[in-house]
Structure 1
Amino acid sequence: MCERHSWESDTSREIVDEGRSAFHGLNRAEGAKLWEFEREAEAGLYLNGHVFVVEHLDRISRQGWEAAYDFLKRLTGHGVTVATVDGERIYPAGERVPMGQVMEIIIKSELSLEEGLKKSKRIKAAWKAKRERAEAGDRSAITSITPSWIEVDRSNRKMRLVPHRAKVLNEIFEWSAGGLGGPSIVNRLNERNEPTWGPADNGWQLGYVTRLLTNRAVMGEYQPRSRPRGNSPEKAVPAGEPILDFYPPAITAELFNRVQAARAARRGTGGKRGKTQANLFSGIARCAECIGPMTYGSTRKAGNVIRGTSGSRKPITFVTKTDHSFLQCDNAKRRRGCPNKTKIRYEFIEPSILENMLAFTADSLRTDAPQESQRMKQELAELKRQIDGKLARLANLVDSFARTGSRTIEDALLLIEAEVEADKSRVETVQRELEQLSAAETPESTIEHMREIRGSLSHPDPQVRLDARIRVNQTLKRFINSMHCDANGQTMIVFGNYGAGITFDRYGNCADRSALNARYEGPDGEPDWHPDDVAAE
């Protein structure tokens, strides 16, 4: 058309907005190239004979004749001639659009809108039908895009796990449940050159690992979502309730729940940790004065070369044989008003606390549950997940039945209610069996497990030491109710399961084992509380 009318043209002047829907108006929304062109025209940048050429008016808008006519008048009113290849129409700048052409614009625009509405309805109906088939039990892939650890058989659209990726996924979850944070997991995967699951192998990233650890699709759940078509800035939102067991499950519900609990326990206790987890009491130790965190500090490490002068001012050099580190109130360190400036020698209290806590935690510590106990926990977690999903479906069915009174919906309601009751009955049975099995486990075996972990703290392999220290930190968080360090250099630990406490002096010696002296945070956040206080009142 440009050649026929002898208009000069250049490919650099082409306006292309791929994927921006004219039906939803996204091609004229802020940030689109057409939006930028309109703003430039309004600013008077195209007053010297520019022509805007477009294939068809529906490339401008498919939202009805008002939007198309508004665009046309906006450009011609600011000195830009508009031309359409369809019908070889030219609308000169600054001139009135004849009535016949206005009617033509109205008819073509309304036809485009009607066509767009039909396509939109068909697409929505197709997706609705796919979701309904999935809810009815069809486990065929809805699209070719599935989670990275799942592949689709093209012959029948059935989904199956990718064995190696499912194995890696389980490793990631087990590491997280065992206490490893996201950065440590990323480092471990990259150090062993584990291939990533994207089109470009740029190494594992923290954001992707975090999404894996929080994605319920690993248990087989599919959450349908709805988002505006085109490159809309709006995020997708859930469309209906999750469909349970749609994907092949790669992770058990019990493991998924353990990971979420471990992540919640680590929240707020992060920071630069390197590869040593030097402080076993990170997120646990608190100042007795201000209840602020006790932070770990170090003045020297074993093997450091120290240079100085002797008493006679002669230069001397020696290598330190031991670490010299301490715990100190963070508020006092940063001069935030806490008077507790005492530094408690870390190398003294760590071994003493670990040795003394064995007697207090033996009855309830379970670092490695027996196989049968683990199986029961997995079954319980899965049953509870199924019940939650069925209750959500029941709520939707009740609303539908109230609107329609359908006999089919009523039958489905009764069936799901019966399934929920059966699942709840099974939960009670498994819980009783699990309690009996737990009662049968011996304190001797739990002590042995704790000693195995403690023995790994001095393992020659640095990775084994790191894993052991992370596990001990997580174990301490489960069993220590409070750990307070006072201005006299004393550290008092209260074990939540026992209501008993141990007090250590600044050299790590056990000074007191009296439960009566235990003071810890009360039910309303009181920093210095004891149940006897309530009894006295």
Structure 2
Amino acid sequence: MAIPRAYSYLRFSTPEQLKGDSFRRQIELSQKYATKHDLELDDTLTLRDLGVSAFRGRNVSEGALGVFIEAVDSGQVRKGSYLLVESLDRLSRDKVHQAFTKFSSLLEKDIIIVTLQDDKIYTHKSLTENFADLMISLAIMFRAHEESLTKSKRIKAAWKGKRIQAQKSGKKLTARCPAWLKLNKEKDTFEIDKDRAKVIKKIFKMTLDGLGKGVIAKRFNKDDIKTFGKSQSWHSSYIQKVLDNPAVMGEYQPMKLETTASNRKRLPDGDSLKDYFPTVIPKETYYKAKEIREGRRVVIGRTGKRFSNLFTGLAICGSCNGSMHYIDKGRGNSYLVCSNSRNGLKCKSHSWRYKSTQAFILITLKEV
């Protein structure tokens, strides 16, 4: 008879917990349980959601719990295998009905779940025949979700209070600021980095002169203008980021992270704080540049019902290995262009007409 296999599931809410005892403790508990009950502790699957929260179910959609469920569904994890967790709240802090659905679905697939904290064994049979097991599991899941929800509300309330105080007193919420600013020695106000501010002003002037973000990035690279971050070159995406940022006219827009099991979005959190940052670009200039940009129509890697770029994420420049972007110049003139060439990064590759390239590739594939 084959020795039953056990899989240890580790989950942390924050990477900082790696510095503590949680990681070592959970590993040790799993090893002790497997030895005591003659189980083979399988480490072929990486089941460590380091820094992935179980609140909103992200560990299922993005992390190791999702990998484990897929392995069970595919048969890679055999029926009768054990999933070892420190406690049920390690599996999910989602809403009770959602957490219970994940929990019970594993049991229905003949996976045995063990909570190492109390050596409690959950099986499909025990859950359906033992009312106490059912109530205990539901109570733990309810408590786990309530704790996370309360913590989330407290953090949001604290930040809201800080924003109100910042509006009244001018006190800065955080040391974080745009790349063209820096916090002063007293840490009570931001100062303008004059050299970087000149670059910001140049970006807006070139935009008002009718130049696009790609051209601006290309010229900056050609003129060896130093970038603000770790990147060695300017890219059109960063130029756009600067042009979109209301911080250039002194506004700070607090953001919040809306998290669901399928995605995460950064959304505005309350009203923006006026005059929070030193002004680098006048409001009139900011909105004029925005108006000019909205009047243009350039599509990169476009996909949709009316158009499908077959090469999105696939086409690579033969000269420099840069990614190829789809550019639509209107009137049927569309091209695949090397991103490095567009940004002036020493790639002399010519653009390729999209329709001709598409036709050639499709004919070639047909002959394979």
TM-score calculated relative to the size of structure 2: 0.64
Question: Of 29, 54, 67, which residue of structure 1 is paired with 2:85?
Answer: 54
- The corresponding residue for 1:123 is 155
Q: Residue 16 of structure 1 aligns to which amino acid in structure 2?
A: R
Which residue of the partner structure matches residue 233 of structure 2? 203
Show the counterpart of 2:68. Answer: 37
**Structure 2 match to 1:110:** 142
- Quote how far apart the aligned CAs of 1:257 are: 3.7
After TM superposition, list the pairs within 5 Å mapping 1:461-472 onto structure 2: none
- C-alpha distance in 2 between matches for 1:169 and 1:179: 16
Structure 2 regions of 5+ residues with no counterpart?
1-29, 300-329, 334-368
Residue 6 (structure 1) aligned with residue 42 (structure 2): no
Match of 1:235 among 251, 265, 283: 265
CA distance in 2, matches of 1:12, 1:179: 57
Q: In the alignment, is the contact (CA less than 8 A) between 1:76 and 1:93 conserved in 2?
A: yes
Residues 19 and 230 in structure 1, CA contact (< 8 A), matched pair in contact too: no
Change over 3 Å in CA distance of 1:89–1:14 after alignment to 2? farther
Matched residues in 2 for 1:177 and 1:15: separation?
52
| In structure 2, distance between residues paired with 1:181 and 1:6 | 67
1:120 deviates by 1.3
* 2:117 matches 1:86: yes
Q: State the partner residue of 2:279.
A: 249
- Which residue is 1:263 aligned to? 293
The structural deviation recorded for 1:115 is 1.5
The alpha-carbon distance between structure 1 residues 70 and 256, as it changes in their structure 2 partners (threshold 3 A), is: closer
Distance 1:3 1:190, change over 3 A: farther
Instruction: Provide the rounded CA distance (Å) in 2 between the counterparts of 1:42 and 1:154.
Output: 57
Match of 1:87, SS state, is coil
Matched letter for residue 135 of structure 1: Q
Residue by residue over 1:168-202, the C-alpha shift from the partner in whole angstroms, topping out at 9 and shown as x without a partner, is 1112212222232222211121123223222x323
Corresponding residue to 2:212 among 181, 192, 205: 181
1:135 maps to 2:203:
no
Q: How much does 1:203 deviate?
A: 0.9
Once the 2 structures are TM-superposed, how far is the Cα of residue 259 of structure 1 from its aligned partner?
2.6
Residues 1:167 and 1:92: Cα distance change in structure 2 (over 3 Å): same
1:155 Cα offset (Å): 4.9
Q: Aligned partners of 1:154, 1:229: CA distance in 2, in Å?
A: 36
Verify: 1:170 aligned to 2:180, yes or no.
Answer: no
Contact 1:227–1:237 under 8 Å retained in 2 = yes
**Mapping for residues 247-326 of structure 1, pairs under 5 Å:** 247-263=277-293, 267-268=296-297
SS of residue in 2 equivalent to 1:63 = coil
Q: Provide, for residues 392-419 of structure 1, a one-character-per-residue CA deviation record: whole Å limited to 9, x for no partner.
A: xxxxxxxxxxxxxxxxxxxxxxxxxxxx
Contact 2:204 2:285 in 1 (8 A): yes
Distance, in Å, in 1 between the alignment partners of 2:94 and 2:292 is 50
Distance 1:262 1:117, change over 3 A: closer
SS in 1 for 2:272: coil
- Range that drifts further, 244-253 or 2-11: 2-11
Q: Secondary structure at the match of 1:227?
A: strand
Task: Please say if residues 57 and 261 of structure 2, whose CA atoms lie closer than 8 Å, have aligned partners that are also in contact.
Answer: no
Q: Residues 231-253 of structure 1, C-alpha deviation per residue, up to 9 Å, x if partnerless?
A: 86242222222221111112122
Relative to structure 1, the CA distance from residue 100 to residue 93 in structure 2 (aligned partners, 3 Å threshold; closer, same or farther) is closer
The 5 A counterparts of 1:493-504 are none
In the alignment, which of 5, 16, 25 is matched to residue 57 of structure 2?
25
Residues 1:213 and 2:243 aligned together: yes
Q: Distance in 2 between matches of 1:144 and 1:7?
A: 51
Distance 1:180 1:151 in 2: 29
Query: Secondary structure of 1:3's partner?
Result: helix
The 8 Å contact of residues 27 and 35 in structure 1, kept in 2 or not, is answered as: yes
Report the alpha carbon displacement of residue 70 of structure 1 after superposing the two structures with TM: 3.2
Unpaired runs of 5+ in structure 1?
271-329, 335-537
Q: 1:112 to 1:14 in 2, by over 3 A?
A: same
Q: CA deviation at 1:109?
A: 2.4
Partner of 2:131: 99
2:107 paired residue number: 76
1:354 alignment partner in structure 2 = none
**Contact 2:127 2:133 (8 Å CA) reproduced:** no
Secondary structure of 2:265's aligned partner: coil
* Deviation readout 1:13-35 (Å, 9 max, x if unpaired): 23233444322222223x54423
Residue 44 of structure 1 deviates from its aligned partner by: 4.4
- The alignment partner of 1:179 has SS state of coil
Letter in 1 for 2:226: P
Superposition RMSD in Å: 3.2
Q: Which one has the largest radius of gyration? A: 1
Pair 1:263–1:115, CA change in 2 (3 A) = closer
In the comparison of the two structures, how many residue pairs are matched?
271
Please name the residue that 2:176 is paired with: 145
The answer to whether structure 1 residue 158 and structure 2 residue 189 are counterparts is: yes
Could you tell me how far apart the structure 2 residues matched to 1:73 and 1:258 are?
57
